[in-house]
Amino acid sequence: MKHLRVYHNSIRSVRQLRFSHLGNISAFCLPAQTASFRRIFESAFSKRTMATAMAKRLEGKTIVVTGASSGIGRSTAKEFARTAPKNLKLILTARRIDSLQELAKEIKEEVGDGVQTLPVKLDVSNPEEVKNFVSSLPVEFQDIDVLVNNAGLVKGVAQAPDIDLADINTMFNTNVTGLINMTQAILPIFKKRSDGGRGDIINIGSIAGREAYPGGSIYCATKAAVKSFTEALRKELISTRIRIIEIDPGQVETEFSIVRYYGDKSKADAVYANCEPLTPEDIAEIIVFAVGRRENVVIADTLIFPNHQASPGHVYKKP
């Protein structure tokens, strides 16, 4: 009973205070209870305040996600919609338009009409399509604020001198030239804004771009190229408010390995057997968190592993 009274008194008092005065909880709690109440209140209120602040920062933005038909891109679109459900425009791009339309439907069912979605068929490895991308958008979707350069893939595990030329070209044209062309297509929109420009580019790199591994030489080279391009771009844009953010995942279970093994699901499943890879939602949360920071905060570079991984080759598998 005594505990209940203290709890209710505390709630009443907290309501009367501004949240920034949480430090004063000790004034109306017994000393022994202060620590646990502080923990409960601070976590409950600061989480809500942070979530609200993030939603506010994202509200009204127009966001492009490449590779939104699957995996990390798909989860990222959903995470943006869930975080700022009141007022957001999402341009969902990939080659598989049916999957994008399905995603748009799911987002609408989940969060309602506050999030406007626009599925757009776009092959980032096709320079002509990328060049015409912005001008082909409806006018109300053209003022883009955020570009998530996520589309990417790996093909095969072949080693030199046996790497298929078509696979080499596909990986470079998608992961490197596609990402650069998308950046060049969107940057002029950012640069028209005040203070030299505003907007966010999130490049999805990989641990593969930091540490190369046998059987992944081309994919690793493409992701190392993404890293170099990203770092140079951040420096080139230093006098603007444009944020250049790189997010490098380790092992994530998506369609990635299915694509690597040319559709052989059993080979893909073997990659994730006896271990616990990251989920695409894990990476999506980090992307949305990075974009949702105050404009002066740049989460320039992140490396995200599942618990059992420490490098491309250091992966603990349960016996």
Which residues participate in catalysis according to the annotation?
219, 223
Please identify, using beta-carbon distances, which residue of 29 and 63 lies nearer to ligand NAP: 63
Q: How many CB atoms lie within 10 A of CB 142?
A: 13
* Footprint (CB under 6 A) of ligand NAP, residues 130-159: 150-153
Is residue 174 at the binding interface for ligand NAP, with CB under 6 A as the rule?
A: yes
State in angstroms the smallest separation of the CB of 180 from ligand NAP.
Answer: 13
Quick one: which of 63, 77, 90, 94 contacts ligand NAP (CB under 6 A)?
Answer: 94
Q: How many CB atoms lie within 10 A of CB 109?
A: 8
State in angstroms the smallest separation of the CB of 286 from ligand NAP.
Answer: 12
Please identify, using beta-carbon distances, which residue of 59 and 255 lies nearer to ligand NAP: 255
- Residue 184's alpha-carbon distances to 3, 256, 274, 300, in angstroms, are 61, 26, 42, 19
- Give the integer Cα–Cα distance in Å for 98 and 247: 27
Is residue 227 at the binding interface for ligand NAP, with CB under 6 A as the rule?
A: no
Residue carrying the six token digits 């490449």: 66
- Give the integer Cα–Cα distance in Å for 232 and 191: 17
Quick one: which of 37, 58, 61, 66 contacts ligand NAP (CB under 6 A)?
Answer: 66
Is residue 204 at the binding interface for ligand NAP, with CB under 6 A as the rule?
A: yes
Q: Is-contact 316 277, C-beta < 8 A?
A: no
Per-residue binding letters, 238-277, with ligand NAP (x by CB under 6 A): -----------x-xx-xxx--x------------------
- Give the integer Cα–Cα distance in Å for 193 and 129: 25
Please identify, using beta-carbon distances, which residue of 240 and 250 lies nearer to ligand NAP: 250
Please identify, using beta-carbon distances, which residue of 6 and 97 lies nearer to ligand NAP: 97
State in angstroms the smallest separation of the CB of 157 from ligand NAP.
Answer: 14
Give the interface with ligand NAP as residue ranges (CB under 6 A): 66-67, 69-73, 94-96, 122-125, 150-153, 174, 178, 204, 206, 249, 251-252, 254-256, 259, 280
